[in-house]
Amino acid sequence: MSGRLWYPQLDVYDAIRRLGGLLVFWSPDAAPSAERLFIADFYLANPPLLHKTHMNREQRKQFNELGIKRPEKTFISFPSPPLLFQKMDAVQRQALQTLTGKGLIDLRKLEKGTVSPSTAGLDLFERKFVPLFGESERRIGRFIASSFVLDNSDIGTLRRNTGLRRVIR
């Protein structure tokens, strides 16, 4: 019998689920750029790597309350965050293109540089995607969207705090 490991970071369907869920957790008036959304998705898929980021005192307190294990104490060994982030690039882009192609992303806002669900998308994400999140994943997603990634209003600050950067074409 042969087995195969599944890596949610490299699964387009799981990326679609994560992106849709994150867009529900985001405040509608603070829609993220694609790069900010991809960074949020990266940490939702790899929560132990949040330990390697810089956070202010309040964020760190909120994060510690989530009880996420350090990367060295998990079963999986993680590559460096920038390397894994680049590896996830094609998967995240395809997931966003799929959501856009299905009419679940507001095209007018996307043309202006922000990613926001369309009316149909928000309804679908709330009804079908968020229930697929476990309680722990929901708490992590809310923390990432409402505090960790949102608090860094300048994308340069977010890049410095995470060490992640990707050119969005």
Q: Model confidence over 2-35: pLDDT tens digits?
A: 655 567 788 999 999 999 999 999 987 788 999 9
Model pLDDT, residue 152: 56
The SS3 assignment for 137 reads helix
Domain range summary for the chain, segments of one domain joined by +: 8-162
Residues 20, 124 contacting (CB under 8 angstroms): yes
Condensed to tens digits (0 to 9), the pLDDT of residues 74-98 reads 777 778 899 999 999 999 999 999 9
Can you give the pLDDT at residue 1? Answer: 55
For 7-48, the DSSP string reads -GGG-HHHHHHHHHHHHHHS-GGGPPPHHHHHHHHHHHH-GG
The model's pLDDT over 127-160, given as tens digits with 9 standing for 90+, comes to: 999 999 999 999 999 999 988 887 656 888 899 9
